[in-house]
Amino acid sequence: MDKSELTKKIKGKAVELGFPLVGVTTADPPDHLDFFQTWLDSGYNASMDWINTERSLERRSDPLKILPECQTILVLACPYPAPRGNVKGGNIASYALNQDYHAELEKRLNELMKTIEDWFGNPVPNRWYVDSGPVLEKELAMRAGLGWIGKNTTLINREHGSYFFLSEILLGLELIPDPPITETYCGSCTRCLDTCPTGALKEPYTLDANRCISYLTIEHRDEIPLKLRSRMGDWIFGCDICQIVCPWNKPGQEAPDILEDFQPREELMDIDLTQELGLSQEEFSARFKGSPIKRAKRRGYLRNVALALGNRGDEDALPALEKALGDQEALVREAAVWAVGYINEHTSS
C-alpha cells in the first residue's frame, strides 16, 4: 500500500484502540533541546536525576540515537476524566483515580504494532514509550499537530484541552507527516501562573519541580520543605490546579471516549483522611494495587495525608494525627508533628 493509505490505516487503528488524537511527525532532531538544557542547568528537575544523565541527553538530542531505522514518529493521545471535587477526601490528581496508565497504554501500543507488522508480514523496527522515554514528547506532539505547549507546560489541544496522556512510537516506516502546530494560543492569559499556590511556574513555559505539588507529593522522597507545606492545601497525590484554571479546559466538558480503566474509582472520590492515616503497609499495598498512587509508597502517601489534615485545620483530626506520632516511618511521624502543631496554632489564635 502507498504511504497515504498506510498512514490512514495506522491512524484508524490507533483511534480504534483508544487514541482519538494521533499525529505523525518526522525523525528530525528536536528544536527545543537548548531550552531543555537550560531548564536542567537551573536545577528545575529537582531530584529527578535520571533526566539529566549523559545517556539520556544524548538520546533526547536525536531520535536516531534511539532507533537508527526511525523514519517516522507517531504521537498518540488518550483522554482521561476531568477533575471532580472530593467531599471528605483529600484531592488526588484526576489521572490517578483509577489504574496506572502506563500498563494500559503500553498494552494498546503493543497491539497497534502487532497489527502493523501483521499487515507487512514481517517485523517493523520500532520503539515506543508512555511518558517514560528519552524524548521531548510535547515538542513531538506539537510537530505532529496535536496541540501546543501552554504556559503551564502541559500540551493543550483546542478541542480536548489538556486532560490526556501522551505516547510515542518511533517507527521504521515512512508515513505522511501532519502539519505542525507553530503557534501557541494562550494569548495574554496568566491564570496558571497566578493561581499556582507554591509558585512552581516561575515564568511562562517554565516549571520548577522543586516547588510543584505534583513532584512533592509523588517523586519527592524526603520531608516537604517547611515554607511550602501550608501552600499545598489538601492535595495528597498530584495536583490539577494549573489545568483546572486553564480556559481551554471547559468545566463540565469531558471527552466521550474515555477508557473504562481510567474512570474514577468511587472509593477514591470520598476518602476519609483520618482513617487513611492508619493504613498499614499491607492495607496500602492492597488498596493501591495497579494504581499510580502506589508510586508514592506508604510513607510518602501518609506524609501527604498528614500535611493535608494539618492544612484543613480540623481539630477532629487530632486523635488520628497524634496516633501517627508513633508510626513506624520517621517521615510520617515528622509530618504528623507539623500537622498537630499547625492545627493547634491556628485554632488557638
Known catalytic residue at 28:
no
pLDDT in tens, 301-344: 999 999 999 999 999 999 999 999 999 999 999 999 999 999 99
Q: Which residues contact 118 (CB under 8 A, 6 or more apart)?
A: none
Q: How confident is the model at residue 346 (pLDDT cuts 50, 70, 90)?
A: confident
Interval 162-176: pLDDT, tens: 999 999 999 999 999
DSSP letters along 328-339, please?
A: S-HHHHHHHHHH
Tens digits of residue pLDDT in 85-144? 665 678 999 999 999 999 999 999 999 999 999 999 999 999 999 988 999 999 999 999
What angle (nearest 5°) sits at the alpha carbon of residue 261, between those of residues 300 and 238?
30
Distance CA 138, CA 41 (A): 20
Is pTM beyond 0.85 here? yes
Q: What are phi and psi of 329, to 5 degrees?
A: -100, 125
Of 93, 139, 39, 43, the residue nearest 234 (C-alpha): 93
The three three-digit cell numbers of residue 290, written as one number: 495497579
Is the Cβ–Cβ distance between 45 and 78 less than 8 Å? Answer: no
| Active-site hit among 28, 31, 41, 131 | 131
232-249 mean pLDDT: 96
User: What residues does 202 pair with on adjacent strands?
Assistant: none
